[in-house]
Structure 1
Amino acid sequence: MSARWKSPSWFAITLLCAGLALFCTLGTWQLKRAHEKETLLASFSGAAAQPTLTLAEARRTTADAVHHPHVRVEGRFDARHAYLLDDQVRDARRGVIAFALFEPVDGSLPILVNRGFVAREGASAPALPPLPEGDLVVSGLYAPPPGSGLRLGGNALPNQAGPTKSTIYIDLGEIGEDAGRRIDTSVLLLDAEPGSGFERTWTPQILPPERHRGYALQWFSFAIAAIVIFIVLHRRRTPPR
């Protein structure tokens, strides 16, 4: 038997072209996302070794998903406003991430400081190291706030009393309302400090670049499969004469 080509309809050609455009666009987008994630991870790993900037200089650069200036700022912690981000997991251990407001000595906007992770011991609340008192200098990465994910139950801060309040997401607007003043739209991820009582490993919780490359391979495979199916459907076999 011999093979003969069957002329495809315009609908089939249009469908093939649309499918190839879609699959190749999605595959290219996944490769772009993989590159962005690599840049983000490199930014986190190398930012702490950069020379420090003042908070005013960092605010002019504006922290985003890729750039995280290394900041050094003088001021004092506001002992009246501290927050615990609950239900956090690090290396299969549950615990909290402690936040506190820091007031720069120059009188500029207060900034929310991420003090680090503390694991729970059983069901009881973890014992947190006390906030340092008086004027001091802190340094860390000037970064966007953590993502809030799925928000359930509304704003829990107004229903709590005391200087330390618990929440399952960080909303800088709600924290500013709770503190009674406007605060910085970014946060400060404190540098690691032996003996601080906190774990400070600042690695973004994201899909790794390898996962995005795997998705890209799937989309490009779909494009190849579409071409193969198109050829098979329009290739007719004719009996020998």
Structure 2
Amino acid sequence: MGYQFKPRLSLTLVTILAIILFAKLGTWQLSRAEEKETQFALLEQYAKQPAVSIPATGVELDDYLYRQVEVRGNFVAEHTIFLDNKLHQGVVGYHVLTPLQLVNSPMHVMINRGWIAGSSDRSILPEVVTPAEQVVITGIVDSPWIKALSLSDEQVTANVWQNFDLDLYQSQSGLTLQPLLLLQQDSEIKDGLMRQWKKPDSGSSKNIGYAFQWFSLAVATLIIYLVLNVKRKGSN
């Protein structure tokens, strides 16, 4: 006794739509993986280039993102903020962010100066040494909009922030800042801050894994469709 293929129209339509959806999601994940690989290659390329200077006039983030830059100016210590819940070797602490006023300019650059341990009493902030004299800071440009998991609905408490938002900071401080965040690299400044920035990988492997899952679902959907619609001749 042979077999025959007797598909139902409704099941066929649902199957086609599902396969198209899964295939599109898989393709999108592959495109995201390619974007991340390109971004990572750019980061590696910039790391080998000498530092460039940030001008006193306004710049665009995309022109400097991930590049090594150098800025000269004075820290504005009274506008220092602390990003909460930052880990270093398993110890909870803060990232210290202080704006740097560029030489002979009203423009500022926000500097992530590094990590410092917090105390057991979270109401007491650690003391940070901030140079009063003019300094030269070298670092890597990052996005000034840092989003992290927060356990509190209150994002800003005095000068302790859960997430850094450049627009909100400018409105509260009254300062004019370049649209970037500078991750300070090790320097001769003795401020006790740790500056061991984690070197990011491309992250493309995760997207490729997701793409494989979506394509697998598309194949599984097709197999299930065939199994449900192939019947023995003479069966109901």
Q: TM-score range by the shorter chain?
A: 0.7 to 0.9
Could you tell me which runs of 5 or more consecutive residues in structure 1 were left unpaired when the two chains were aligned. none
**Structure 1 position 129, deviation (Å):** 4.3
Inter-partner Cα distance in structure 1 for 2:194 and 2:90: 14
CA RMSD across the alignment? 3.1
Pair 207,168 (structure 1): closer, same or farther in 2 beyond 3 Å? farther
What is aligned with 1:133? 132
Superposed, which structure 2 residues align to 1:1-241 within 5 Å?
A: 1-6=1-6, 8-44=7-43, 47-56=46-55, 60=59, 62-63=61-62, 67-120=65-118, 122-123=120-121, 127-149=126-148, 152-156=153-157, 160=158, 165-193=159-187, 197-203=192-198, 208-238=203-233
Separation of aligned partners in 1, 2:201 and 2:145: 11
Read off the aligned partner of 1:211 and give its amino acid letter: K
Q: Aligned partners of 1:15, 1:89: CA distance in 2, in Å?
A: 48
Deviations 1:2-30 (A, max 9, x none): 21221x24433322221111101111112
| Identical positions, percent | 26
Matched-pair contact (CA < 8 Å) for 2:186–2:195:
yes
Q: Cα–Cα, structure 1 residues 67 and 82, in superposed 2: closer, same or farther, change >3 Å? A: closer
SS of residue matched to 1:183: strand
Query: How much has 1:120 moved relative to structure 2?
Result: 3.4
Q: 1:91 to 1:197 in 2, by over 3 A?
A: same
Amino acid at match of 2:117: A
Distance apart, 1:147 and its partner CA: 2.4
Task: Tell me how far apart the structure 2 counterparts of residues 80 and 2 of structure 1 sit (CA, whole Å).
Answer: 84
Distance 1:216 1:90, change over 3 A: farther
Q: In the aligned structure 1, how far is the partner of 2:106 from the partner of 2:38?
A: 31
CA displacement at 1:48 relative to structure 2 = 3.8
Question: Hey, what's the Cα distance between the residues in 2 that align with 1:186 and 1:216?
Answer: 32
Question: How far off its partner does 1:181 sit?
Answer: 2.6
- 1:48-73 residue CA offsets vs partner (Å, 9 max, x unmatched): 43222221299645338x94222111
Aligned partners of 1:41 and 1:203 also within 8 Å? no
Provide closer, same or farther for how the CA distance between residues 169 and 72 of structure 1 changes in structure 2, counting only shifts above 3 A: same
Residue pair 2:37, 2:202 contacting (<8 A) in 1 also: no
Distance in 2 (CA, whole Å) between partners of 1:57 and 1:217 is 47
Normalized against structure 2, the TM-score is what? Answer: 0.82
1:79 Cα deviation after fit: 1.9
State the TM-score, normalized to the length of structure 1.
0.81
Determine the C-alpha separation between the residues in 2 that align with 1:198 and 1:15. 58
Shift of the 46–95 alpha-carbon distance from structure 1 to 2, 3 Å rule, reads farther
Local SS of the residue matching 1:63: helix
Judged with a 3 Å threshold, the aligned counterparts in structure 2 of structure 1 residues 60 and 184 are, in CA distance, closer, same or farther, namely closer
Displacement of 1:112 in angstroms is 0.9
Cα distance in 2 for partners of 1:104, 1:22 equals 51
